[in-house]
Amino acid sequence: MIRPFDWRDLVLLHRVRDQGLCLDSQLAFTRGSNTIQTLLLDIITPRRTACTFVVRPDEKEDQEAIGQILHRTGEPHARLSFFGPVGAISSPGSGRLLDALSHAAGERGAQHLIAEVDEQSPIFELIRKAGFAIYARQRIWRLQGKPDLDPFLKSTDWRVETDDDESAINHLYLDIVPALVQQVELPPRVDRGGLVHWREGELLGYLDIERGPLGVWLDPFFHPAVENLDELLAGFLASYSDNQNRPLYFPVRSYQGWIGHALERIGFEICSDQAVMVKRLAVAIRKPALSSLSAVERTHPEPTTPFAHLCQSWPKIPAPPHHE
């Protein structure tokens, strides 16, 4: 049986909380892979962002499991945030659990369900069979502590975003991100203290920043025309301070893979390679746009001549002469 999570499932949650997978990378690296524990209050809060389902075995081959999605009201996509325990992945109920989560995301208004997963993970094949497809790949880079930046430190040309930067940030997003990805993911929100880099009146770089208790997530958007990227990133690191000494994480999508070379030169290390997968929950229906034809609608059709009258107006053809 698959049903929504409630207080009867707290024992199950306690049992599987450390045995699951977090499929939202930003959440996993900034708040921990067992973030499902921090979302229990969503059960009693209005307009909650989390939706959690459980599998309670009806058959011998089924295993107990918990799955969760996150969806902010009004956003076109939801994220598969938790699935556990790992040992239940091969259970027949796991596929039905993913179907139930997909259905719940669609009912909440989401058009896509996103999951970020290592292709070598045991859950990759389960997600693929559930209708998810790869639409991008990403490599996550990690930096702990302060590297030696002296060889690179020449530029600190960054400032905190303002509302006036929003239009330029959206244009940068449209220039960089492939159209296929734009159909799934929204441009970054300009309300979280991100950083912008302008050069000669053009926005060439933007860092979307999300801070959590376990790490800081820096989503980069750099125009290919940007120069001396390693110096620019070193300038950011030199001006960045964190009393908690949390690690920094840079997710670099495949369409911006060249950023990785600069990150490696200034001390970042590869943390994870992932496939970014999506399941489409809604299909756009194209309808013809109907509009009035003023050239036709503003005129009055002339009456036509009835066919019978038309025949009467034809000239008479004399009969051929009769020969005896």
Distances (CA, A) of 232 to 237, 255, 263, 267: 9, 20, 11, 14
Per-residue confidence in pLDDT tens, the chain, 324 aa: 898 888 888 888 888 878 889 999 999 999 887 656 555 545 545 556 888 999 988 766 678 999 999 998 888 999 999 998 998 998 888 999 999 999 999 999 999 999 999 988 989 999 999 999 999 999 999 999 876 666 566 666 899 999 999 999 999 999 999 999 999 998 998 877 899 999 989 999 999 999 999 999 999 999 999 988 988 998 888 888 888 889 999 999 999 999 999 999 989 999 999 999 999 997 655 556 566 655 555 555 555 555 455 455 555 555 555 554
Interstrand relation of 77-84 and 21-22 (parallel, antiparallel or unpaired): antiparallel
Q: Are residues 170 and 227 in the same domain?
A: yes
3 state SS of 201: coil
Question: Does 147 lie in the same domain as 89?
Answer: no
CA 209 to chain CA centroid, Å, is 16
- Give the amino acid at 241: S
Contact 63, 57 (CB under 8 A): yes
Pick the last residue of a domain from 224, 247, 271.
271
- 9 within domain boundaries: yes
Q: What is the model's pLDDT at position 136?
A: 94
Query: Side-chain half-sphere of 126: how many Cα atoms within 13 Å?
Result: 24
The range of the structural domain enclosing residue 6 comes to 1-131
194 and 123 assigned to the same domain = no
Residue 257: other Cβ atoms inside 10 A: 12
Half-sphere exposure at residue 312, Cβ-oriented, CA atoms within 13 angstroms: 4
Q: Are residues 123 and 2 in the same domain?
A: yes
**Do the domain assignments include residue 218?**
yes
The pLDDT, as a whole number, for residue 270 is 96
Classify residue 301: in a domain, yes or no: no
CA distances in angstroms from 193 to 79, 211, 236, 237, listed in the order given? 23, 10, 14, 16
How many domains in the chain? 2
- In angstroms, the Cα distances linking 190 to 39, 90, 162, 207, 285 are 25, 41, 7, 11, 31
Residue 314 to residue 139: CA distance in whole angstroms? 84
On whether the CB atoms of residues 185 and 110 are closer than 8 A, the answer is no
91 within domain boundaries: yes
Q: Is the domain of 146 the same as that of 256?
A: yes
By CB neighbour count within 10 A (0-12 exposed, 13-18 middle, 19+ buried), where does 167 fall?
exposed
Residue 279: inside a domain, yes or no? Answer: no
Give yes or no: residues 11 and 119 share one domain. Answer: yes
What is the number of other CB atoms lying within 10 angstroms of the CB of residue 187? Answer: 17
95 and 59 in one domain? yes
What local confidence, expressed as pLDDT, does residue 74 receive? 82
pLDDT at 8: 86
Give the amino acid at 157.
Answer: D
The verdict on residue 291 lying in a domain is no
Is 318 contained in some domain? no
